[in-house]
């Protein structure tokens, strides 16, 4: 099958492209390299350096005629969405809409959309959060990610577009940038290995649900053939506090220099974890990588870069 992956030079997207090629699929990557890296792109994939907002995206679809589209490209930094909501909306809403329209125009069989279970629900009314939880985003990022979900729902009803939405919890693993502003596992790891003091925003009790990138890739592969016009949480159901994560990393790395505390940033949820029984029942998916195991593998990867 020919699969077009947006954001295929990025963290999650590049791992997905690797898995797709290993399974014998023909892969096309669209990425503007704003955060992705050209060297991440599997050499077996055909690469187009292009924004999903570009009008030239139609030409890619016309030339490649993908059977399935996997949409990973996005502006993913919560506090950047708060500071620059117009840019966030351009990338996550208008870019997604442009992609959806090409899927309709060229009769793509199915689109898989990477959404954010950590942002669209807002501050949870209960935990773990299931797909029936009210949608109440507290950041512009959460609004933009959910808006694309609603466009998919609309075009599914009105035009018969087949889709699956995967709402990720906090994804971590190799290739996540340790120099960016999203992905606390990679950021803390990079800072510790460089001898810098990490910063926790809050008192250390803010929690997240960490899911390894290999488990996320597995969910995407299953969604190619299973699930129709529905939404799945992709997480572990386990809360881990910022302080707990820092302590795990410090022990693995042998870091002893302490950390900084700063005020919680606007738009950030304080506590969350995702319930995944729907994905388990309908996709046959569940997480397999425990946090300490996954973090250990991630630290080993970054040690190869810094040491």
Strands 260-262 and 199-201, by their bridges, are: parallel
49 and 120 part of one domain = yes
| Cβ neighbours of residue 12 closer than 8 Å, sequence gap 6 or more | 72, 114, 168, 171, 213, 216, 217
The residue ranges of the chain whose pLDDT is under 70 are: 179-182, 306-307
182 and 230 part of one domain = no
Q: Which residue out of 48, 113, 121, 141 is catalytically annotated?
A: 141
Please tell me the predicted confidence (pLDDT) of residue 181. 55
Residue 48, helix vs strand vs coil: strand
158 and 11 part of one domain = yes
- Give the model confidence (pLDDT) of 84-111 as tens digits: 999 999 999 999 999 999 999 999 999 9
| Cβ neighbours of residue 158 closer than 8 Å, sequence gap 6 or more | none
203 and 138 part of one domain = no
Contact 57, 103 (CB under 8 A): no
**Nearest of 239, 241, 260, 240 to residue 192 by alpha carbon:** 260
84 and 188 part of one domain = no
User: What is the DSSP code (8-state) at residue 200?
Assistant: E
The CATH number that applies at residue 266 is 3.90.25.10
Please tell me the predicted confidence (pLDDT) of residue 97. 98
User: Rounded to an integer, what is the distance from CA 116 to the centroid of its chain?
Assistant: 7
68 and 216 part of one domain = yes
The span from the CA of 48 to the CA of 54, in Å, is 12
- Give the model confidence (pLDDT) of 203-246 as tens digits: 999 999 999 999 999 999 999 999 999 999 999 999 999 999 99
Please tell me the predicted confidence (pLDDT) of residue 81. 87
The CATH number that applies at residue 33 is 3.40.50.720
Containing 262, the helix (H) or strand (E) segment is strand 260-262
Please tell me the predicted confidence (pLDDT) of residue 77. 77
The span from the CA of 7 to the CA of 14, in Å, is 8
Residue with tokens 């030239």: 56
189 and 247 part of one domain = yes
Please tell me the predicted confidence (pLDDT) of residue 182. 63
Please tell me the predicted confidence (pLDDT) of residue 79. 79
Q: Is 301 a catalytic residue?
A: no
What does the chain come to in residues?
307
Please tell me the predicted confidence (pLDDT) of residue 179. 65
22 and 68 part of one domain = yes
Q: Which domain holds residue 180?
A: 173-207+239-271+290-306
Please tell me the predicted confidence (pLDDT) of residue 304. 85
223 and 82 part of one domain = yes
Please tell me the predicted confidence (pLDDT) of residue 159. 97
Please tell me the predicted confidence (pLDDT) of residue 42. 97
133 and 192 part of one domain = no
79 and 227 part of one domain = yes
Work out how many domains the chain is built from and give that number: 2
131 and 186 part of one domain = no
């Amino acid at each position: 099958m020919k699969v077009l992956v947006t954001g295929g030079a990025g963290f999650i997207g590049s791992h997905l492209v690797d898995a797709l090629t290993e399974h014998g699929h023909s892969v096309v990557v669209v990425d503007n390299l704003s955060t992705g890296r050209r060297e991440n792109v599997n050499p077996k994939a055909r690469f187009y350096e292009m924004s999903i907002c570009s009008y030239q995206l139609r030409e890619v679809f016309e030339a490649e005629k993908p059977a399935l589209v996997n949409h990973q490209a996005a502006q993913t930094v919560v506090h950047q969405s708060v500071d620059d909501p117009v840019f966030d909306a351009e990338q996550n809403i208008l870019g997604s809409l442009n992609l959806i329209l090409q899927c309709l125009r060229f009769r793509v069989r199915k689109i898989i959309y990477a959404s954010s279970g950590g942002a669209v629900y807002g501050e949870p009314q209960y935990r773990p959060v299931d797909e029936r939880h009210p949608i109440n985003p507290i950041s512009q990022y959460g609004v933009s990610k959910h808006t694309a979900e609603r466009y998919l729902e609309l075009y599914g009803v009105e035009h018969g577009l087949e889709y699956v939405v995967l709402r990720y919890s906090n994804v971590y693993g190799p290739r996540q940038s340790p120099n960016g502003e999203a992905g606390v596992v990679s950021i803390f790891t990079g800072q510790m290995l460089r001898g810098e003091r990490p910063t926790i925003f809050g008192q250390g009790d803010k929690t997240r649900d960490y899911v390894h990138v290999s488990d996320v890739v597995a969910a995407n592969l299953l969604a190619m053939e299973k699930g129709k016009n529905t939404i799945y949480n992709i997480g572990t159901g386990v809360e881990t506090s910022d302080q707990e994560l820092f302590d795990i990393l410090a022990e693995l790395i042998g870091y002893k220099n302490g950390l900084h505390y700063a005020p919680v940033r606007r738009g950030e949820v304080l506590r969350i974890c995702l319930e995944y029984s729907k994905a388990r029942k309908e996709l046959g998916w569940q997480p397999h990588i425990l946090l300490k195991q996954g973090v250990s593998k991630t630290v080993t990867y970054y040690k190869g870069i810094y040491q």
